[in-house]
Amino acid sequence: MQALNIISAEHRGMWRLTTALESIARDMHQSGADAPAEVIAMMLDYLGSYIGQMHHPKEDAYLFRILRERSPQAVADIDMLQSEHFAEAQQLASLHSTALAVARGERAARPAFFESLDSFIDHTRKHIRHEETTVMPLAREVLTEEDWREIDAAFLNNDDPLFGANAKAEFAELRANLVRLAPDPVGLGGAPAAITPQAPAAGAKVLEIKGLTSHYGRIQALRGVDIEVREGQLVALVGANGAGKTTLLRTLSGVQPATGGSISLHGRDITQQSPDKRVRGGICQVPEGRQVFGPMSIEDNLRLGGYTRPRGDIEGDLARMYELFPILKEKRHLPAGTLSGGQQQMLAMARALMGRPRLLLLDEPSMGLAPLLVEEIFRIVKNLKTQGITILLVEQNAHAALAIADVGYVIETGSIILSGPGPELLENEQVKAAYLGM
């Protein structure tokens, strides 16, 4: 039934886009601004292409076709959904036209635009709810194992010219550009970054944690934690609030003392090493809540991140950060406190990268960000991994973290209760029930 997971993931992405559209339109309505309408038109273009080329064809050709054959009960619902598919395309075309009119400054088009957008968002969400609550449960109930093999094979066919790997990559890049162009706080409001993937294989052990314990007074926060991170890996640690995730990162950084067990970095015991020596040894952390220095300029924040580097390397490192995060270059002379939440997260990550980390610790990078920005943050994290940066990612957003992780660990009340490849943990029933709401 992997096809249903793919459909649900696509539904979540579409829902997030409707939320972003709603937020931008609300700000336009309140401020009277016209400029974001162009971004909305781009979003509608993306949605129309994605739904028409990627989402609906798979459903129509495989899931809906086979479900029709197996269940007379499903026919009426499928007919309704497919008629909505057709109506949705017409609605999008009309809405796109009015969005462009508003973007050109045609004030008379605004009422029709806002009304049409509200109608489209409402229609899309009702369509998703109906499919998730009626058709998909019925498919789980009536389709056979042989049916699912055929459907899953089609959905997972990366060579398919319409919705295979190449098409997915094109849409992912389009979506990332939309996020960067969308205004605050929905998007980053900047230009796209040029990132060249290298994708090295996992190598030698970078970090080895054995039997690690830590206490706050009499309260034991970590209980015999064992974790391993290899070179080039992206390892995710997920768990609920208060499970011990941040305490573990603080202990790795040397801010929180270990009361038992050991921490080794590249085979060398650093359990009792001071925080500054750990930074010089290559451990750099992006703290929870970003923690940028608000009154200082963005560039000074970045320079501070490179304080352990030779002075002659700083300018080159700065240029690299500005290439990775163009929005920071545009605003480099402004106080860091003037940045939006998403932009501050970019700055916090860039500041840590200025230290040329051998191990990058990311603590809740998605916290407090709009849904589309969360997607962009995780896209950047994944791209950093492809460049060979070894990453330990701590997150409450289990679905997003495990989806990009080579290896995942689940922590609960200070103990590791599950571990394994990230995609496998996503399918684990215990993880689904506890962290994915499934």
* pLDDT at residue 192 greater than cutoff 70: no
Report the pLDDT value the prediction gives residue 210, as an integer from 0 to 100: 96
* pLDDT at residue 29 greater than cutoff 80: no
User: Stretch 56-81: mean pLDDT, rounded?
Assistant: 87
Q: First-to-last CA distance in the chain? A: 14
Rg for the chain (alpha carbons), in Å?
A: 24
Percentage of residues in the chain with pLDDT exceeding 70?
86
Percentage of residues in the chain with pLDDT exceeding 90?
29
- Mean residue pLDDT of the chain comes to 83
Could you give the dihedral angle defined by the CA atoms of residues 54, 39, 347 and 232, in that order, rounded to the nearest 10 degrees? Answer: 10
* Banded pLDDT at 53 (limits 50, 70, 90): confident
User: Stretch 356-382: mean pLDDT, rounded?
Assistant: 85
* Banded pLDDT at 146 (limits 50, 70, 90): very high
Q: Please state, as a whole number, how many other Cβ atoms lie within 10 Å of the Cβ of residue 347.
A: 26
Q: What are the chain's domains?
A: 2-181 (1.20.120.520), 205-436 (3.40.50.300)
Report the pLDDT value the prediction gives residue 237, as an integer from 0 to 100: 94
Higher pLDDT pick, 312 / 123: 123
Angle (nearest 5°) at CA 150 between 165 and 12: 50
Is pTM, for the whole model, over 0.75?
no
Structure tokens, 304: 């501070």
* Banded pLDDT at 37 (limits 50, 70, 90): low
Which tens digits make up the pLDDT trace of 256-301?
999 999 999 999 999 999 999 999 899 999 988 778 888 999 999 9
Those residues with Cβ within 8 angstroms of residue 59's Cβ, 6 or more apart along the chain or in another chain: 7
Residue in 104, 103, 89, 92 with CA at minimum distance from that of residue 24: 103
* Banded pLDDT at 43 (limits 50, 70, 90): confident
Pairwise CA distance, residues 283 & 228, whole Å: 15
* pLDDT at residue 337 greater than cutoff 60: yes
Report the pLDDT value the prediction gives residue 193, as an integer from 0 to 100: 43
- What are the φ and ψ backbone dihedral angles of 320, each rounded to 5 degrees? -65, -40
Is the separation of the CB atoms in 276 and 307 below 8 Å?
no
Report the pLDDT value the prediction gives residue 196, as an integer from 0 to 100: 40
Choose the weakest-confidence range: 35-44, 192-201, 404-413: 192-201
Report the pLDDT value the prediction gives residue 206, as an integer from 0 to 100: 94
Which tens digits make up the pLDDT trace of 154-173?
888 877 655 556 666 666 66
Burial 248-257 (b: 16+ CB within 10 A, else e): bbbbbbbebe
Report the pLDDT value the prediction gives residue 414, as an integer from 0 to 100: 93
Higher pLDDT pick, 412 / 55: 412
Report the pLDDT value the prediction gives residue 175, as an integer from 0 to 100: 64
Structure tokens, 433: 């029930």
